[in-house]
Every structure is written in structure tokens, then in C-alpha cells.
Amino acid sequence: MRNRHKAKVFEKLTIVDTASKGKAVAKTADGIPIFLIEGVPGDVVDIQTLKKRKGYFEGKITVFHAESEHRTKAVCEHFGVCGGCKWQHMTYGAQLQFKQKEVSENLRRIGGVTPEHILDILACETPYFYRNKMEFSFSSNRWMTNEEIASNKEFNKNALGFHKPGMWDKIVDINKCHLQADPSNAIRNEIRRYALENGLSFFHPRDQSGFLRTLMIRTTSTGEVMVLLQVVHQDPALTPLLEHIKSSFPEITSLLYVINNKANDTLYDQEIILHSGRDHIIEEMEGLHFKIGAKTFYQTNSLQAYALYKVTRMFAQLKPEDVVYDLYTGIGTIAQFIAKKVSKVVGVDVVPESIEAAKANALANNINNAEFEAGDMKSIFTDAFIERHGKANVVITDPPREGMHKEVVEQLLSLSPERIVYVSCNSATQARDLAMLCQDYTLVQSQAVDMFPQTHHVENVVLLEKK
């Protein structure tokens, strides 16, 4: 028989810090950490433990004795339920403070490195309604409150919103999300209203039944809008629904759909079908235009992406004679952003569609000194690659959350460029990679950039110079 945790209660503990995944941490008198949700450093609380792990507890706050000076009232009615904005209850100034601290501590503890210069974190001018991409799920298995369950009443169980944290098959029905600007909320709510009124079935994740599956909304700083509806199967109700969306929101630039009857929602192996408008939307940055398709990766905060790329360009200290590699280039945004300042830039990415988009964007932007190649980074970034494109003296790398493969780091060390600018959305894996790179490089400076206000996520940019 499995041992069950016997709950402990700790009274009047002060929350002392933030922790991974947006949690807060308090410590017992014996120094054992207790990880919590919805706590803010400075709160004085009673805590009931929920789980005992090796070396720490997981717990919940039961009583507040004093609230932190960093605590504020969350603006969203769904805060604490949907899990999208774990830090709305913390002042924005405090969010920045703890993000900066996390980055510095990850570099020091995981990487064993400390930059010579740590620049202040760059705040986001728009801490709400900043995302340019949101994905919502339809479900006939709505998450219900304890009050609803206890009432034994009949409720509409259809939902269009976000997965409840820790419950893969439950969707929180969203009325207003504060992450993406209008017309996002209006589009989502109208599609749900139409679907309910017309009896369209919502997806059930356990038995893979139903019709409506997911909704993606993308926007640009230029005012363009993409809507992609994912359905399980072809149905006579699909065209009237799409026509209703089109007529209700004439500002939609690109209206697309996908028929997906496989076990997961991933779009990358699916055919994207155009219903009306263009098959892409266009983002603009410093006079450059970027085509964004349904499968395209683009930084989810357009305004702050511009700030991030300016930091990257500044750190790179580019000269007209430089040859630059842009690893994990996506649709070539950074490559094209720096192209006019260098002799040549070479972008690499694993997604063929992204590389095709990068080539098309470069052509449209009249950039003729950028080359792009598709392939898995550890397989393509070889001596033969360097021979094909010429040796780079500057490398910019912006890998996914898992960081760079060890073989890629080793090839970077072998290439031995003068400068490396490492952009990361995960300072823990960045620190791991820096531990290897700093064998041969000096970590000159670091700057965190807040791309994701109200969440614990943060980007970090570092400059490495050859010793």
C-alpha cells in the first residue's frame, strides 16, 4: 500500500523568494523549502503541506497574517485558475526584480559564471495585451468549480479556453484574457457563442470525439489578424461557421482551417487550408517585412522582440567586414535585422518552412547578403557547413528552451569566432551551455529582457568574447 503524506501545518512563515515555474518559496525553521503557488515574497502566511519530496515540501497557503509590499490585486477574473499568468498578483516592478535575480543566480549556480557587466533588465512598456499569438482549446469537458460540482445542478460543460494546470483533459472557459489585444477576445467569444447556438460539438480529449478542436489567433503590430480553426473532421457546418467568422470580423486578414483527426493538436504535420484572405500575415520591424504563416515561429511579443533584437545587435558589435552565423534563425528575423551592417549572414533552422519563409522575406526586403539553410543543428553545423559558407567571426545563437546540443557547443568552440551572442528563453540551459563555452570565452555582459509580463518567463542575452 502506498504511503500517503500526512499534512503538516507551519504557522507564520515568511515567503522569502520566487522559485522555478513561477512558484514562491518559504522555509521551515529547519531550513526545509516549501514551494507554493500564489505566494509573493514578503507575505507572512500559514502553510499546509500537500506533498513531501526529497529535501522539500509542496504546500498551499491557508492563512495570510501580513501581505507583502510586492502584492497587488490581479486584474483578470480567471487568475489562479487558468494558470496562464502566474504573477498577476505581484507588482510589475517586483516581477522584474525577481526575474533579474533568477537569471543571475542561474548563471552563477548552474554555469559557474558571472558576467563582467550585468545590465538592468529591460521592462516591457505594455505589461498586458502584449502577445501576438494565442491558442485556445475547445472541450466538452469544462473545468468546474467546487461550488458547481457540489450543487448537483446541470451545467453547460462546453468550454473554449485554456487547459487547467495539472488536468490535461479539463479546459477553463475563458471570458476575457488580458494577454492578447482585441479583437482576440471578441473573436473567441463570438465563435463560442455561434457554436453553442448552432449545436456544434466540442472536442472531448478522452474519447477523441467532437468537431471543434482548437482556435489560434495571431496578430501583428501593423493590425493584421490571422484566425486558424482546427476541427476533427469535415462537416457541413464548417463552411457556415467560417463564413460567419469572416462576416463578423472583416478585419481578419487570414482565415484558415485544419482537419486533424490524429491524437494530438500539433499543426506541423498538417495541411493548412485557406478559407479566405491571405495564407499569411505581415509583421514590420525597422522597415523590414516578415511573412508569418500558421506554422511560423515568431517572437510572441512583437514590441519587445524589437527591443530584444536591438540588444542582440548592440552586443554583437557588428562591422562591415563581419561574417555572421545566425543559429536557430526561424524565419530569419535576426539575420535580416543585422544584414545591412555586415558582409554576410548565414541563417540555419531545423524547420524547412521557416527557411523557405526566411528566403522569401529576404528577397522581399531586398537583402542579398543573407543565406539560409535547413537542417538539424547538430547534423548540419559541421566543418563542411563552414567550408560552404565561409568562417564566421561572429555567431548569434537563439536556441529553443532546451538550449544547444553538446555537439553544437563543441563545434562553436572549434569554429572559435571572435564574439558569440547567446539569446535564450531559458537561462538555466543557457548557463549549462555557458559553462562549456567559458573554457575559451570571457562572459562580458548580460541583459535580461522581459518578453512575458505577468509570467515567470524571461529572455536573457549574453556576450562572449574570445579569450
Q: Indicate which residues carry an active-site annotation.
A: 425
Residues in contact with 155: Cβ distance below 8 Å, sequence separation at least 6, in sequence order = 142, 144, 148
CA–CA distance, 218 with 254 (Å, rounded to integer):
9
CB 441 within 8 A of CB 420: yes
Q: What are the two backbone dihedrals, phi and then psi, of residue 86, each rounded to the nearest 5 degrees?
A: -70, -15
What is the rounded CA–CA span in Å between residue 253 and residue 298?
A: 17
Which sign does the torsion angle of CA 310, 315, 316, 317 carry? positive
Q: Which amino acid is at 381?
A: F
CA 72 – CA 426 distance, rounded (Å)? 26
Say how far apart CA 130 and CA 180 lie, in whole Å. 6
DSSP string covering 312-344: HHHHHT--TT-EEEEET-TTTHHHHHHGGGSSE
Three-state SS sequence of 157-211: CCEEEEECCCCCCCEEECCCCCCECCCHHHHHHHHHHHHHHCCCCECECCCCECC
Phi, psi angles (nearest 5°) of residue 418 = -65, -40
Could you identify the residue written with the cell 529535501? 55
CA distance 218 to 228: 9
CB 414 within 8 A of CB 438: no
Residue type, 339: A
- 120: phi then psi, degrees, rounded to nearest 5: -60, 145
The length of the chain, given as a count of residues: 467
Q: Residue 159 corresponds to which cell in the numbers above? A: 468550454
Tally of helices (H runs) and strands (E runs) in the chain:
11, 22
Cβ(118)–Cβ(102) below 8 Å: no
Q: Looking up cell 522569502, which residue turns up?
A: 16
Q: How many CB atoms lie under 10 A from the CB of residue 126? A: 11
H or E element, residue 312: helix 302-316
Cell 510586492 appears where? 70
The angle that helices 406-415 and 427-437 make with each other, rounded to 10 degrees, is 40
CB of 121 closer than 8 Å to CB of 458:
yes
Instruction: For residue 233, give the C-alpha cell.
Output: 473532421
